[in-house]
Amino acid sequence: MRRLVSYLFAGFLLLQGCKKTEEIPIQHGTYEEVSINVAPLMGIVTPKALVYLPPNYDPNKRYPVIYMLHGFGGDYRTYIYFNGVHEILDHLISTGQMDPVIVVMPDGRNLTGGSFYTNSYLYDPSSNSYATLPVFGLYETYIIDSMMAQIERRYPIDTTKRAIMGLSMGSYGSAKLWLKYPAKFKAVALHSGPLAFDSLIDVNIIDSMLSDFSDHRLPLWIKDYLGRERIWATLGNGLAAAFSPRIVAYQDPTDWRVIENCFYSPGGLDSINGEVLLDTLTLGSMKVCVGVRFPFTYDTAGKPLASCVDPALPDNFTKKALTETYCVWKAYHDPQTLIDTALAIDANAFKDTKVYIDVGKKDELTLLSHNRGFKQALLDKGFPRNNLVYVEFDGAIGYPADLFPGLHSTWLYVRLKKSFTFINRALKGEDIKAGDYDEAEGNDYE
C-alpha cells in the first residue's frame, strides 16, 4: 500500500510538472520588411531585409543583434517563411532560454542565385587580378557598409553585442565577413558551410560537377544547364560568378552569332580554361558577353600544379586540373586562408570571438571535410579552444541515423536552437560549453 501511495504521489508531481510546462505562455515577436538605400552601381538585386523584433519590443531599450545570412537559392524571406525562425526565437525568449534580441535577415540573392556575400569584381585571367568593375554585385560592401549601418541607425542596437550566423552559403558569408572584419562580431555560428577550399581536392569535386553534363564537359553556354536538378553545376557557377566573373565585348555588335563573337573576339571567353557564357547584354550601341571562369582546365597534359596546390594532396583530376584562378579563389575568398587575414587585421578581436560550427556527417555536398579542416586550421593558428564549439550530427539518441541522417540542412530546428542559445551565452559572457560534440554517439552540446 505504501508503495502504491508513493507511485501515485510521484505521478501527481509529474503531472503537475507537465502542467506547469504546458502553461508557459509563448509571447510573439514581430517582423518587418526594411528597404536599404544603395547606389545602383553596386548591383544589389534586392536591397531588402526582414527584421525580427522580440516580444515586448521597447524602442527605448538597446538590444543585441544577430545578422542571419541565408543559403544559395534563398532570399531574405527564407528563414521566416520557410524555416519559421521567428517561432524558434519566440519560444526561446518566452521560456527564458534566450534574452530578447533583434535578428536581421538581409537578401544575398544575385542574378546567379546567390552572391556568397562577396564583392563580384571583373576578373582578369591574364594577370590573375581584379578590376574595380562590379559584375554580379558588391555584396560584401553592401552588408558591411550599407545594410548594417542603416539597420543600426534605425533600431536600438547594442553594437558591442553583435553576432553573425548562417547556413550553407550563409555560413560561408558569415565566416568570410567575420574574418575580414574581426572586430565587428563577438559571436559567429556556422552551419554546413564551404569553409576550406583545399577540401574540394580531397573529394575530386570537379569530376562531380562535370557529371551534371551529358558529355562530362562544360557547355559553352551554361544558363540552360542550371537549376535544382544540376546542383553541382549551379553552385559552381554561383561561386565562379562571385569569385571570377568575366565580361568581353562583341567583335561585331551587328552580328547575331553569339557563340562566335563571345569566344572568338579578341580577348574572348576561353573555353579550354573553363570559361562559359551566361548571357549577353546590350549597353547602348555595344554588346557584351557576360560569363564566368571556373578554376580549372581540361588540358592537363604536361601542366604543372597550380602554385598554391599542396603536392601532398590526393592525386586526382581536380588536383591536376586546377589553375592559377583557383589560387586567386584561395587567396581572396577561402575562409581557411582568411584566418591569416583576421590575425593581421586584429588578432585580439579574432581570438576573442566565440565560434559555433556544426555539420552533418552525411552532408551530401561533401562539406564534412571542409568543417573539420576549418576547425583544425583555427586551432593551428592559435584560436583559443575554450572559445569554440564544434558539433557533428547524424541522428541522435532515439533517432537512428539511417532514418534521421545528418545531411546538409536536416535537423535545422534543433541546430538553430543550439546556435541561438550559444550566441546568447557568448554575448552575455557566459560559459559556452566549448568542446567537440558527436551527437550520433549521444555526446550532445546541450
The domains of the chain, with CATH numbers, are: 26-121+136-196+334-441 (3.40.50.1820), 201-329 (no CATH)
Among 44-48, 249-253, 339-343, 405-409, the minimum mean pLDDT is found in: 249-253
The C-alpha atoms of residue 176 and residue 247 are separated, in whole angstroms, by: 25
* Nearest CA-CA partner of 138 in 267, 36, 66, 213: 36
- Return d(Cα 239, Cα 233) in angstroms, integer: 10
Q: In terms of DSSP H, where are the helices of 23-157?
A: 78-81, 85-94, 139-141, 148-154
Confidence of residue 282 (pLDDT cuts 50, 70, 90): confident
Cβ-contact 151, 51 below 8 angstroms: yes
CA distance 428 to 199: 35
- The one-letter code for the residue type at 432 is I
- pTM as predicted: 0.93
Task: Give buried/exposed letters for 387-421 (b at 16+ CB in 10 A, else e).
Answer: bbbbbbbbbbeeeebeebbbbbbbbbebbbbbbbb
What letter does residue 386 receive in the DSSP assignment?
G
What does DSSP assign to residue 187?
E
Mean pLDDT of 30-37: 98
Residue 8 has pLDDT above 80, yes or no: no
SS3 153: helix
* pLDDT for the residue numbered 123: 97
Q: Which has the closest alpha carbon to 291: 355, 346, 220? A: 220
Kindly state the average pLDDT of the residues 326-340: 98
Residue type at position 44: I
Range scoring the smallest mean pLDDT among 43-52, 108-117, 249-258, 328-337: 249-258
**Measured between alpha carbons, how far is 331 from 346 in angstroms, rounded to an integer?**
18
20 has a pLDDT exceeding 80: no
Residue 22 — pLDDT band, cuts 50, 70, 90? low
The answer to whether the CB of 293 falls within 8 A of the CB of 273 is yes
Question: In one letter, which amino acid is 420?
Answer: F
**Does 17 score more than 50 pLDDT?**
no
Cα distances (Å, whole numbers) of residue 248 to 119, 122, 258, 276, 281: 19, 10, 12, 12, 11
277: phi then psi, degrees, rounded to nearest 5: -95, 130
pLDDT attached to residue 439: 86
pLDDT at 363 over 90: yes
The three-state secondary structure class of 440 is helix
Mean pLDDT, rounded, of the chain: 92
